[in-house]
Structure formats: C-alpha cells, structure tokens
Amino acid sequence: MDPLRCFLFVPADSERKYQKASGTAADALILDLEDSVNQDNLPQARQMAHDYLLQSRDKLRPQSLWVRINPLDTDLSLVDLAAVMGGSPDGIILPKTFSAAEAIKLDHMLSALEARENIQVGRTKILVVATETARSLFTMDSFVGASDRIYGMTWGAEDLSAALGAFTNQMADGGYEDVYRLARSLCLAACKAAETEPVDSVYPNFRDLDGLFKEALQGRKTGFTGKVAIHPDQVDVINKAFAPTEDEIAFAHRVIGAFKDKGGSGTVGMDGKMLDMPHLKQARTVLTMAERNNA
C-alpha cells in the first residue's frame, strides 16, 4: 500500500462535514467517534459513519476511509467497532494506547468482526496514536512485529499534555516543549523500526496555512510520510508539502545517474561530495514519491 499523505479528521456526527470532506483531495478520511463527538451524539455518529462507509463498501474508493474508535480501555470501543464494521472501513485509528498490547487485542477483535461481516480477514488496517499516555513513551519498541495490520503510527501532543498534568505543550516561541518533541521523534523511530508509516500530527491553528506548510515540509524532510489535517483548507497544503520539489527530483535523478555511471560502485563523488548507499536510497524514495504524486 502506498503511503497516504493526508488524513482528514471528520467528526462523524456531521453530515455537512462528510460532504465537504469527500470533495477534498485528502487521501484518507478519519470518521471520528472519539474526542470530536459529544457522548450524547455517539449512537447517531456510529450509525452515520456506518451508512457513509456502506455506500462504498466493495467498491474502489476514491478516498481511503478510516474510523477513530474510542480507547480500548473504555466500554465504548467494542460498540464502536461492532457498529461500523459492516461498512468495511479501510482502517481503524486506535487512540490512547499504552503499548502494542492494545493493537494486538484490536487485531483479534477485527478478525472476529471481519468474519462476521464477510470481509477478508486481515483487510482492515490499524493506525495507532502512539504517544497519548505517559507509559506509551516507554513502550514504543513493542510495536515491532506486533501485527501485520499496523499501517503506521501517529503521535499527539494534546492528550499527552493532559496525561502529564501540563497546562501547555508549547514554549513561549510557539515551538513544542521537549517532551512532545521526544514523543514525535520516538514515534518516527518506532515506525521505521516496525517498518510502518510515520504520520505527523495535527497543526491545530487551521487558519495559519504558512505555518502548516513549514511544519509539514519539515515533517517530510525528517522522514514522516504523511500528516493529519483537521480542516479542509489544510489538505492541499499538506499534499503539496509531501510532494517532492522539482529541484529534489532533478537532484535525485543526478544521484542515480552518478551511481549508474560508476557501474555498481558503492560510493561515488558528485559536486565534490561523497555519496554512498543512504544517498542512493533517499534518491529512490524521492522518485517513488514523485511518481505517486503524478499517478
């Protein structure tokens, strides 16, 4: 599966937002049953998410459709799953984990529900929100080899700050405090260790599109393969940030050309600098991303 660049959150109890979201260029929508939905609206939100999914079940979907369920240590999550699986979501977003144990438990729950709904067992993927509890920062390594369903992991600063008893997660200059930068870095490293996709977190100030672009670009250059959006205006900005620039593509072609010219040599010189295998790998990644954006 190609990495998804932009996941757009859609509160699952808003018909208007479903419509709006389906007209965006987001690769994936997250129908949210957790923090953006008032508990009183949850039964209705589950039904609406199910119905939205069902319209495109067994069809080639233009957008990948995911559902964020409530955390597994609540009695809401199983009801969330039972309500939506009939629509065959492409994936489930699992929030507030402590370790891979919840992802493994979810894997088993999904297998049972897939069998019930005549869905190929193993089809439904999992995206873990891996940094929302204090303990999660010490267990991220547990995701290596945990489940074939794990598409990737993302991180979150809002719930982590609540878990840490903090009043803010930002420093005076607007940047994140150390512990949230650590959470982001751990998420990235754990994803690479587990051979899954690292998805960068939300940029909450949805009117500041320049700030979003800078953060998204920095995320891509750090190794993230996608980012979560909370507002339709953020989608095109994220897609642009996750597409390699003309200069990057031209440079990648030159790197690959330089290795070809040297006929299989493991290291070459270009513009007075040494290039070896990691540079070749980066160049190939850039071209793969460019091809995907043109597809």
Scanning 3-11, 41-49, 130-138, 145-153 for contacts with ligand COA by CB under 6 A, the matching segment is 3-11
Shortest Cβ 148–ligand COA spacing (Å): 26
Q: What is the DSSP string of 21-57?
A: HHTS--SEEEEE-STTS-GGGHHHHHHHHHHHHHHTT
- The site string for ligand COA over 223-262 (x = CB under 6 A, - otherwise) reads -------xxx------------------------------
Q: Which is nearer to ligand COA, 21 or 283 (CB)?
A: 21
Residue with tokens 């018909």: 15
Judged by CB under 5 A, which of 80, 90, 107, 159 binds Mg ion? 159
Q: Which is nearer to ligand COA, 6 or 255 (CB)?
A: 6
- List the alpha helices (DSSP H) in the chain: 15-22, 42-55, 77-84, 100-116, 158-163, 178-193, 209-222, 233-241, 246-261, 277-294
Shortest Cβ 162–Mg ion spacing (Å): 9
- Who's near 278: CB < 8 A, 6+ residues apart? none
* Coil/strand/helix, residue 87: helix
Scanning 4-12, 129-137, 189-197, 212-220 for contacts with ligand COA by CB under 6 A, the matching segment is 4-12
Q: Which is nearer to ligand COA, 179 or 209 (CB)?
A: 209
Q: What is the DSSP string of 210-237?
A: HHHHHHHHHHHHHT--EEEESSTHHHHH
- Who's near 288: CB < 8 A, 6+ residues apart? none
From residue 198, how far is each of 46, 93, 272 by CA, in Å?
27, 13, 33
- The site string for ligand COA over 30-69 (x = CB under 6 A, - otherwise) reads --x--xx---------------------------------
Total binding residues for ligand COA by CB under 6 A? 16
Q: Which residues of 83-121 are buried (b: 16+ CB within 10 A; e: fewer)?
A: bbbbbbbbbbbbbbbbbbebbbebbebbeebbeeeebee
- Who's near 36: CB < 8 A, 6+ residues apart? 9, 11, 12
- Other Cβ atoms less than 10 A from the Cβ of 213: the count is 16
Partner in contact with 159, chosen from Mg ion, ligand COA, none, beta carbon below 5 to 8 Å by kind: Mg ion
Q: What is the CA radius of gyration of the chain?
A: 20
Q: Which is nearer to ligand COA, 213 or 256 (CB)?
A: 213
Residues in 35-54 that interact with Mg ion by CB under 5 A: 35
The residues pairing with 125 across neighbouring beta strands, listed in sequence order, are 91
Q: Which is nearer to ligand COA, 225 or 234 (CB)?
A: 234
The residues pairing with 269 across neighbouring beta strands, listed in sequence order, are 274
Q: Which is nearer to ligand COA, 8 or 194 (CB)?
A: 8
Shortest Cβ 128–Mg ion spacing (Å): 13
Instruction: Find out whether 198 and 152 touch, Cβ atoms under 8 Å.
Output: yes
Q: Does 16 bind ligand COA (CB under 6 A)?
A: yes
Q: Which is nearer to Mg ion, 88 or 201 (CB)?
A: 201
Q: Which is nearer to ligand COA, 36 or 288 (CB)?
A: 36
Scanning 9-17, 181-189, 213-221, 270-278 for contacts with ligand COA by CB under 6 A, the matching segment is 9-17
Shortest Cβ 233–ligand COA spacing (Å): 7
- Which residues of this chain interact with ligand COA, rule CB under 6 A? 8-11, 16-17, 20-21, 32, 35-36, 202, 206, 230-232
